[in-house]
Amino acid sequence: MWLIEVTVVNRDTCRVKLDRIQSGKMKIFGVLFLSLLLLAGFGFYRGWFSMSTGDGNAGGQKTEVNLTVDREKMNADADAVKNQAQKLTGEAREKASDLIEPAGDASRSK
């Protein structure tokens, strides 16, 4: 990717400078931007964010755009994920202990 920098020296002269943007920084920026975009999309899907518009006070010349964040919905979803994760890890521990106990009993009988 290229960065073009144009500098106006005086009324009749300008300088153009081309620089190559480092790809590592662009990749990090791209991943960060994509992550933010996915989070926003997921948030709108789950109802964490909502957007509304309304007429402004200037006789229709301005439009108000409002973004609302539902923190209660976010906290409820976070608690549901936490409870489900605890339930699944508890079940996995029980199954793992069931597998370990018979193996331990078999090694003791030898």
Domain count, the chain: 2
Residues 79 and 55 in one domain: no
- Pair 86, 101 in one domain: yes
Same domain, 13 and 43: yes
Per-residue pLDDT tens digits for 1-36: 666 777 777 767 777 777 766 667 778 888 899 999
Do 38 and 89 sit in the same domain of this protein? no
11 lies in the same domain as 62: yes
In a shared domain, residues 59 and 77:
no
Same structural domain, 63 and 82? no
Nearest residue to 91 (alpha-carbon basis) of 83, 102, 101, 103: 83
Q: Does 87 lie in the same domain as 62? A: no
* pLDDT digits 0-9 by tens, 58-68: 666 788 889 89
Place of tokens 């990090």: 28
Q: Which of 85, 84, 63, 82 is nearest to 74 (CA)?
A: 82
State which residues form the domain around 63: 1-69
**Is the same domain home to 60 and 92?**
no
**Prediction pTM value:** 0.55
Q: Could you tell me if 50 and 5 lie in one domain?
A: yes
Instruction: Name, in order, each residue with C-beta under 8 angstroms of 79's C-beta and a sequence gap of 6 or more.
Output: none
Residues 63 and 24 in one domain: yes
104 has a pLDDT exceeding 60 = no
